[in-house]
Every structure is written in C-alpha cells, then in structure tokens.
Amino acid sequence: MTDSAWIKDFGTTFQREKDALQSRIEAAKASSPASPATLQELTSKISKLMTTLADASGSLPSYDQRQYELQVKALEKSVEELRSTTAKPKFAFKRKAAASSQSSTPSAPSTPKSAPDTSASPANASASLSAPSTNLVPSTNLVLSSHKSKYLTITDLPAPFKQESDLALADLDGCVVDLLRADEPALLNISAVHIRNVADSVIVLPLISGSVMLHDLTRTVVVVGCHQFRMHTSKAVDVYLSITSNPIIEHCSEIRFAPYPSALAPDAPSDGLQSIQDFSHIRATPSPNWTRLRSEQQVDTLGLLQLAKDNASDLRGVLAKVLPGRCGGA
C-alpha cells in the first residue's frame, strides 16, 4: 500500500471509530444519567482511539494529525460533560433510604427494574451494537481518573483486567502513581499509555512496548520507558525516559529530560534522548522549550516513592520538594 493510500485508509477507519463513539455518547446523553460502567467504557474507547493515533504519529501529515487530535479532544470533552450530569451519590443514597423506610418488601422488585434500564436502552441501533457488555470480561483498557491527593498503585486499577492492557490516566491532581509492580512483576503488561490533564503529580511507570501520548500536563514528573513518546500542550514537566526512537514535544515549554533511572532498569536504552524533536520549533537553533536535567537535579525515584508511601496523608508536602515549576524545585 502506498503512503497516500495508507493515509486515506487510516482517515476512513479513524472517522468510523470516532463516529461510533460519538453515537454512543449521544445515546448515553439521551437516556438516564450515565452509569459509572458506561463512563468507564467510553473513556477506555477514547483512550484506545488516541493510542491508535499515537501509533500513527510521524506517518500522518501534521495537519491531519492535529485535526484528529482535536476530534479526540472533543470526544473527551463530551464525556466530561456527560460525567458532570451524572446523578450525585448523595441523592442516590437519599432515594434508597426513602424507599427502604416505606417498606421492606418493595426493595426486592426494585432490583430487576434497574437491570433492564441499563441493558435495554432504546437508543439507536448503531450505538447499541457498539456497546457490548464489558462487565463480565476482563478489560483491555484500564483507566485511572479523577483523583486528588492520592497514592495510586496497581490495586487501584479497575478489575478484572487482562494481563496486557492499555492504560489511561486523566484528571489527576496532587497524586503519586506507582505502577512498578515490584511485588508481582508479571501481573500486568502495559501495552500503551495515554495521559491527559495531570497537575502537581508524579507518575512512575515500567518499561512498556508501545507508545506514550501525553496532553495538558503541568508541574509533573513522568518516569517511563516506551517505544514512542509524544507530548502536547504541557508545561514544567520532568521526564525520565527510556526510548530508542525520537521523542516528540509540541506546544510545550519548560520540559526537562533525563534517562530512565538505572535503579529501576539498569540496561534501559536511552538512545532517543540524543534527538528530541520540538514540532513547535522547526529551526536549526536549539529549542528553548526543553533542556536536560543535570544529574544533581534528578530525583531518587525509589526514595521518592517510599517517602510518599510513608507520608500518604501529606502528599502535597512531599511533592512540593520534587515537582518542577512553581510548586517544586527549580
């Protein structure tokens, strides 16, 4: 297949997947407030679509790439709007209490009432076809989202999940994400990562075989090894990276790179760090948007994780000592 034919084929496939997702979101909006399972499914599918786009980076024209990314971002915004209209837990608890106070027997038939509402939505057929039941099988798309000031590990991932899974991290503030799996290294094999809207946090991931796509990070430390790395619209981020291809940044500033910590993977390759590409600075002069972390500036990752674990009630205090930008060290 020629390059032009491949680009056209990719565009057709991408639009088909995007339209199916849009239909699913519209169906969820038209029905009663979306369940957590529906929101999880939509977030996972968007993450998978973004991973597909990340894998195609470098092969697509820059204009097409940008348009696809904007379309994915619009999908994510729609899901966030859907999430914000979901019934608040407090109201749900009050309804349950009211129902049980009236009588002890009506609570039994109320259970089958909710089952048909979830599984037999009268939304359009295409949306129904694109929404298989994911509750009974292990998920291949894992999501950690909407957390604040938490120490998150593999035990916080939704279960069940398949050993090889894509991972999405979104809407994290003041968190430490530790997915090194030191105790059970064979439990999870992350194949691709999509990270969006993270602030004042530390993310420590193992070496993965696929791509890492990052959007909208601020004052964050990212530790990861991957085949492909691309970061957009981010500021004040320290990246400890193992990679053999060329890392790409775009619309970013105050990004600092260092090799993946040898304490985590002594033989992790870092050849790609010699050729970091800034798509917002296509000139012969050095990019002003990124630099390299000197050895004395680098964080002891294992020490940081242990300190955060021991002081989980004061994560902000721990993070303030290590984060780049105004919340942390220079």
pLDDT tens per residue, the chain (330 residues)?
A: 667 888 888 889 989 898 988 888 888 888 768 888 888 788 888 888 887 887 776 678 878 888 888 888 888 888 888 887 764 444 344 444 444 444 444 444 444 444 444 333 333 333 333 333 334 344 457 888 899 999 999 888 876 566 667 889 999 999 999 998 655 545 677 888 999 999 999 999 999 988 999 999 999 999 999 999 999 999 999 999 999 889 999 999 999 999 999 999 888 888 888 889 999 888 888 899 999 999 999 999 999 999 998 998 899 999 998 999 754 444
Q: Rounded distance, CA 118 to CA 37, Å?
A: 10
Tell me the DSSP string of 53-115.
HHHTTTTS-HHHHHHHHHHHHHHHHHHHHHHHTSPPHHHHHHHHHHHHHH-SSTHHHHHHHHH
Ramachandran bin of 233, using left for φ above 0, alpha for ψ from -120 to 50, beta for the remaining angles: left
> Taking Cα atoms as reference points, which of 260, 164, 159 lies closest to residue 205?
260
For tokens 């997915």, name the residue: 179
Domain ranges of the chain: 2-86, 141-320
Please, what CATH class does the domain formed by 141-320 belong to? mainly beta
The pLDDT tens digits of the residues spanning 268-287 come to 888 888 889 999 888 888 89
For tokens 């997947």, name the residue: 17
3-state secondary structure of 168: strand
What pTM value is reported for the model? 0.64
Report the CATH fold assignment for 2-86.
Answer: Methane Monooxygenase Hydroxylase; Chain G, domain 1 (1.20.58)
- The two structure tokens encoding residue 318: 């721990």
Question: What local confidence, expressed as pLDDT, does residue 72 receive?
Answer: 86
Q: Cα-flanking dihedrals φ and ψ of residue 114, to 5°? A: -75, -25
